[in-house]
Structure 1
């Protein structure tokens, strides 16, 4: 188990909390030995109609976004991307535009509050049809879908499946008009994340989440700096390339002094950017980290909403106290209804508010546990391995970058017999 998880379980404030946390600690030590969210750890989908028993592809690389094509409408142009892949339900293939990716993410954030949903590359009004921009966006949209494919609760929900397999114009689908129902969301969380049912969001957990937020923000800053450094280093590499090209050109030009027959050596700038993959990795992970940060802020919003509802409950209790003292409301002077009627209405409102508080509390507890003890530790493990792979690839690419010039120089026959 991650050291950050262990800190939370030190010195619980009371025996009940200690019992819950010890139980949960034992669960964590037994459950999270791998970086994948397996079908067993994802909960039982059978009782929740909004999450089907569709398991993500064994290899998220099976989902691809390719063949971008420009479509023209009466007033504008947009790019369509071909999405294809395979999962336990079979093959799927569909064409979607950026607007539909945006609509998908919005409904996922609304229906899975407090859970991490990877972010999309930002909108761009100018130059969004340029080939270089389209290719960059294609890669990031593919990364977005592959990240969702690692999260079974998102991948198996109705909205995601309709996006992958549904009819055209997903952004106009009726499924996107689904209203937020705290009761249904809480029931879904209890079902899908049942392994976290013993967890309570305590002040110690609040502190840890705040520290996690600080680390994630530092990570964003470091990635931004790394992108700038990569771009600066590549600019220097391009300048070095230009010097090599001029040097080879000068050497070639001296041939005419030694031989009448001048054999021109084909020289052109290389297209290799040793840092291209690392830059894309940084950009993709900036989006992933921002998704984690957004989920934490959403938890704060849920906490504020819970506090607001508790305040309303107290206000309603004050009204009941006033009725019990025989005070009448202004409206009673017009409709002549007795105090018991309005007391019943207020008590019903209090029950409704308390139900909402309980549901939000359930969502808050389960989503906090998911982020802290599953998504973040797995994210660290996954990204550390990815970075190691990227650095190994960078070393090989840099070798290739300079090998181009070595071959050009070694193949020059100055005296050309």
Structure 2
């Protein structure tokens, strides 16, 4: 007849599972004499030089406990919400600059601290303020690397984990900005750090930067010479165009990797939980099966042995011991993607200057034609309704404006050459070195984290081998 099913181990697939015991241990050193503990292995692979004095993550900045929970409280000590702290991707030892303490008040605000040319500043900022700041910097500092911020998101932007992740990247943005003096001292940043009124509204009053002011920024703030060799300019332009093409091609790959990593984070979490589930199953079996077989002799228990509470404690916590390296990978690849997008923004800034120059030249041609028509007294649809004095005033304006457009177009031509050289000689090589350095740092951290995961696994299972009942079974 049909056997009655009683729960945990009952399955219609049970007969398909084949148990294949090892005749002997694959590792001759695996036995009761092993003395490997997570703490000792952690010390072996994570030396004091790997951790900053403040207790922050190791170089490369990817370290943080998977289950770190930061509790956010207001000034009265009232809990606002909890969120998971993600992995930093930069290690800048400067607590002066930070984005912290997210507060829900209909919208989310963050406490921003820093220090500019006028001294320390602190205040509440919304995401849209960061967005407006970066937008202004990108527009008014074309060709210059401006650290990235996470993109806008209208759905789910008030969930705790989303807020934590957004704050993480905004904090990185501020810390990176702090290392770029000409951006910190800029008029744009001053409107963010020391605002008078609505920050986004003040940015809207900023007009486009003039060619003369832009050239002055390049010369004075970035140290770019306007006296350039034409062959160097041509070579730089080709290099920039080639690198821009490469970045646009690799960007979809990075996005795909990020999406895949996001899926793997959950899979890894489930795998870690399943390790704990195995122990739960063993505990259930010992309580409901083995206990009867050994006639309630607790000394013959392993997981449920009351005389070995340490084993029970380790068994209960094993699922939380392992660190999710896919989460580390996700934050690293997302940060890399955002950096690529920031460099694309910088090169696109040069492209917009090129487009502006073309517009000026076209406008200049149009105004020259109009001026010629006025001087030659040629009748047009526009001139039919103008008086003689109006035409004369218009001619004076056009003469002045054409000269200004010509000068601006010449300035932009020089600026474009300066930007090509600056991007080729500064942005691209620095970005390449940064990507190389961060990749090796990440692999270094990833290897150490996986080694520590393995050490925790070995330590846990070797403790089973120390149990006299288990060790006797292998002899």
Pairwise same-fold verdict (TM > 0.5): yes
Look up the match of 1:179: 207
Question: How far did 1:290 drift?
Answer: 0.8
What does the per-residue CA deviation read over 1:135-164, in whole Å, with 9 as the maximum and x for residues that have no partner? Answer: 111111112222322332212213323423
Question: How far did 1:133 drift?
Answer: 0.8
Q: Take 1:87 and 1:326, find their aligned partners in 2: how far apart are those partners?
A: 58
Question: How far did 1:391 drift?
Answer: 1.0
Judge conservation of contact 2:183–2:189 (CA < 8 Å) in 1. yes
Look up the match of 1:80: 109
Question: How far did 1:203 drift?
Answer: 4.8
Q: Which runs of 5+ in 2 are unaligned?
A: 1-91, 299-303, 471-475
Look up the match of 2:343: 292
Q: Take 1:130 and 1:315, find their aligned partners in 2: how far apart are those partners?
A: 54
Judge conservation of contact 1:244–1:405 (CA < 8 Å) in 2. no
Question: Is 1:230 matched up with 2:261?
Answer: yes
Pick one of 409, 418, 423 that aligns with 1:366.
418
- What is the root-mean-square deviation of aligned Cα atoms in Å? 3.3
Question: How far did 1:210 drift?
Answer: 1.9
Question: How far did 1:338 drift?
Answer: 9.2
Judge conservation of contact 1:114–1:364 (CA < 8 Å) in 2. no
Alignment of 1:265-280 (within 5 A): 265-266=312-313, 267-268=316-317, 269-270=319-320, 272-280=323-331
Alignment of 1:10-409 (within 5 A): 62-71=96-105, 77-86=106-115, 90-166=119-195, 169-172=198-201, 174=202, 176-182=204-210, 183-199=212-228, 202-231=233-262, 233-235=264-266, 237-252=268-283, 253-254=285-286, 256=291, 257-258=293-294, 259-261=296-298, 262=304, 263=306, 265-266=312-313, 267-268=316-317, 269-270=319-320, 272-328=323-379, 331=383, 334-337=386-389, 342-409=394-461
- Larger mean CA deviation between 142-151 and 253-262 belongs to 253-262
Look up the match of 2:38: none
Secondary structure of 1:67 counterpart: strand
Secondary structure of 1:92 counterpart: strand
Look up the match of 1:38: none
Q: Take 1:339 and 1:387, find their aligned partners in 2: how far apart are those partners?
A: 65
Q: Radius of gyration: which is bigger?
A: 2
Question: How far did 1:192 drift?
Answer: 1.9
What does the per-residue CA deviation read over 1:14-55, in whole Å, with 9 as the maximum and x for residues that have no partner? Answer: xxxxxxxxxxxxxxxxxxxxxxxxxxxxxxxxxxxxxxxxxx
Measured at CA, do residues 309 and 86 of structure 1 come closer, stay the same or move farther in structure 2, by a change above 3 Å?
closer
Q: Take 2:124 and 2:341, find their aligned partners in 1: how far apart are those partners?
A: 26
- TM-score scaled by length of structure 1: 0.73
Q: Which runs of 5+ in 1 are unaligned?
A: 1-57, 72-76
Look up the match of 2:47: none
- TM-score scaled by length of structure 2: 0.65
User: Aligned residue pairs: how many?
Assistant: 355
What does the per-residue CA deviation read over 1:71-104, in whole Å, with 9 as the maximum and x for residues that have no partner? Answer: 2xxxxx2222222345676543322121111121
